[in-house]
A and B are shown apart, each in its own frame.
Chain A
Amino acid sequence: MNPFDYIRPASVAEAVAAAAEPGAAYLAAGTNLLDLMKVGAMRPGRLVDVRHLPGLDRIETLSDGSFRIGSMVRNADLARDAGFAAAFPAVAEALLSGASAQLRNVATVGGNVMQRTRCAYFQDPASACNKRNPGSGCDALEGENRTHAVLGWSGSCIATHPSDFCVSLVAFDAVVEIVGPAGTREVPLEEFHLLPGTTPERECVLEAGELIVALRLPSDAGRFAANQRYLKLRERTSFAFALVSATAALDIEDGTIRSARLALGGVAAKPWRAHAAEAQLQGAAPGVEAFEQAARAALADAMPSGANAFKIELARRVVNRALLLAAAGTPERMPAMPASAFSSVPGVLSHV
């Protein structure tokens, strides 16, 4: 690990001032940052510890029924918040399908949004990586790339965003609240992460010193509460990143889909909202025919970035199955293995 200065500010204003210096990074739980510092993939000269800042650890219901989640709320606490889990069960399910219990107990929701790609070449300072070292090239292009992106990638970078949580958040129009040297602003999560283009080192819209202080979920997503699921395909049943995942949510009335939400994970450098597929589902009867059509629409622009063409068909099937699970209804209790295709809870649809 490189040497660094450790600063523990007493307020958001102090934190922003301390982090506006070149080479500074915010430290929350550190479950991703410290790991990347140990392997030398990140080398900040100053860590500004925001874990203890007052007022950032609250889960609030606002007067309009929307939820406001402080950025230092821990993943496990949000998933276990009964009111939140009832309103956004697919967000809770995504959270509980990520990492391990130990990591969820400290990792923060703000840190989850800011986590870096798990591309092995990004994590290895001896490899060429345009994200870590702009202009150095991309060893993933000709390397081990079966888990890499199939949507939104470029010749500069084919890495994926690893979050589960963000997939469900983007499906429900989450908004990111930001405080920085120039004041406060809000950005829809869908616009927060950036596709690589020719500047893969720029992963999100944050400017120097800007800090995520909260995430907001609008109340109108409540109409999807009865029919929503997160489904995550991974190479082992628990404690693994998604190969492909999907959040599906349906507002069904009288046998017709009034409105649908669909987002994919593990396929791109950002949580991928599938608007075209949502539009196709609107007004359709829930069922395999509509869901397969939506799955095709969601992956219409997909292209393999290497030895990963299988992920395109896999993603179609994950979308189809996530929609079938959502149509079958939100389970009464969180499945023993959240977001798993191998659920063993009696009464919970496991194979469709």
Chain B
Amino acid sequence: MTLSVTLSVNGVRRDVTLEDPRVTLLDLLRERLDLVGTKKGCDRGQCGACTVLVDGRRINSCLALAASYDGADIVTIEGLAKGDLLDPVQAAFIAHDGFQCGFCTPGQIMSAVGLINEGEAGDDPDRVREGMSGNLCRCGAHAGIVEAVLDAQKQLQQRRVA
């Protein structure tokens, strides 16, 4: 069966025809739209490498059936920077060495953006760790990741106040 899906991806309208409904949002982004920043790690919702924002909320795109997301607003790692200007969360990951090999990093950063949007972690490292527990890093860069998230959140708060 053929299905038409219209998405807004990083602010751009994308019309995609699916020949088969067995397509996840992750595979649609990577295989059909060539947005390969979003990674396929476990493909079972356990590692978080595929994290994207859907209507402002972080989700695992590997467990989302693309057909069900017709009309959704998607933001991927490719949509964060404004030209050469990095998003504050991206910059904080670099400043705090929040990665080693980099494979999990797009998912970590999208998850961190989602966590900051949710607004519940504050400046509590325990709440950041708990809020980021859906993103695994096999290199073990978690300490830097927690620092990066706390720092990015602080910068974004200061920016809002100013």
Contacts and interface: CB of A to CB of B under 8 A. Distances in A.
A105 interface: yes
B42 to A, nearest CB: 10
A5 interface: yes
B68 A102 contact: no
B44 interface: yes
Interface stretch (A27-35, A175-183, A285-293, A316-324): A27-35
Nearest to A105: B57
A29 B24 CA distance: 12
A310 interface: no
Given A34-B65, A336-B124, A105 B1 contact: no
B64 interface: yes
A103 B22 contact: no
B106 interface: no
Given A5-B1, A100-B48, A344 B126 contact: yes
5 nearest A-B pairs in the assembled complex, by CB-CB distance: A100-B134, A238-B133, A336-B126, A6-B21, A239-B133
A336 B45 contact: no
Nearest to B43: A38
A101 B134 contact: yes
Contact of A238 (B22, B124, B130): B130
A101 B21 contact: no
A106 interface: yes
A76 B120 CA distance: 12
A99 B3 CA distance: 31
**Main SS class of interface, B:** mixed
Contacts of A338: 130
A3 interface: yes
A337 B1 contact: no
A102 B59 contact: yes
A76 B58 CA distance: 11
B115 interface: yes
A3 B131 contact: no
Contact of A34 (B63, B115, B131, B133): B63
Most buried by A among B51, B59, B118: B59
| Contact size range, B | 35 or more
Contacts of A4: 21-22
Interface residues of A, number: 35
A56 to B, nearest CB: 14
A132 interface: no
Given A49-B68, A101-B131, A238-B133, A106 B126 contact: no
B26 to A, nearest CB: 11
B60 interface: yes
A186 B9 CA distance: 41
B114 interface: yes
B3 A6 contact: yes
Contact of B68 (A35, A51, A336): A51
Interface string B12-27: 0000000011101000
A102 B51 contact: yes
Contacts of A31: 45, 60, 63
A94 to B, nearest CB: 15
9 contacts: A1-B22, A8-B68, A29-B63, A34-B63, A34-B64, A100-B48, A101-B114, A105-B57, A105-B114
A52 B22 CA distance: 19
A101 B65 contact: no
Contacts of B135: 100
Contacts of A52: 68
Contacts of B65: 6, 27, 30, 34, 47, 49
Nearest to A31: B63
Most buried by B among A47, A103, A336, A345: A336
B134 A30 contact: no
Contact of B111 (A39, A51, A102): A102
B67 interface: yes
A337 B129 CA distance: 9
B127 interface: yes
A4 B67 CA distance: 12
Contacts of A3: 20, 22
A39 B59 CA distance: 20
Contacts of A30: 63-65, 68
Nearest to B110: A102
Contacts of B133: 100-101, 237-239
B44 A35 contact: yes
